[in-house]
Amino acid sequence: EDPTAVALELDCRGMVCPAPVIELARHVGDVAPGEVVAVVATDAAARVDVPAWCRMRGHHYVGADDLGDGAVRLRVRRA
């Protein structure tokens, strides 16, 4: 099994802070502990907000992938 596999991807393109993090908070419970949720966002603040949310909530920030279209995919492993 691929430990970096994304179990759930949230398309938050066009949403502005703090909406992508609110979506992440609403849906992180939809995956099992240890699984990865990805947030795809065009709001630059998400690059800061998602890792900060992970630190506050105890989840593991896996990393970001630039999608090349102005969006970034931020990956979070559920604690």
Within a 10 A sphere around the Cβ of 16, how many other Cβ atoms? 13
Catalytic residues: 17
- Residue 8: burial class (beta carbons within 10 Å; 0-12, 13-18, 19+): middle
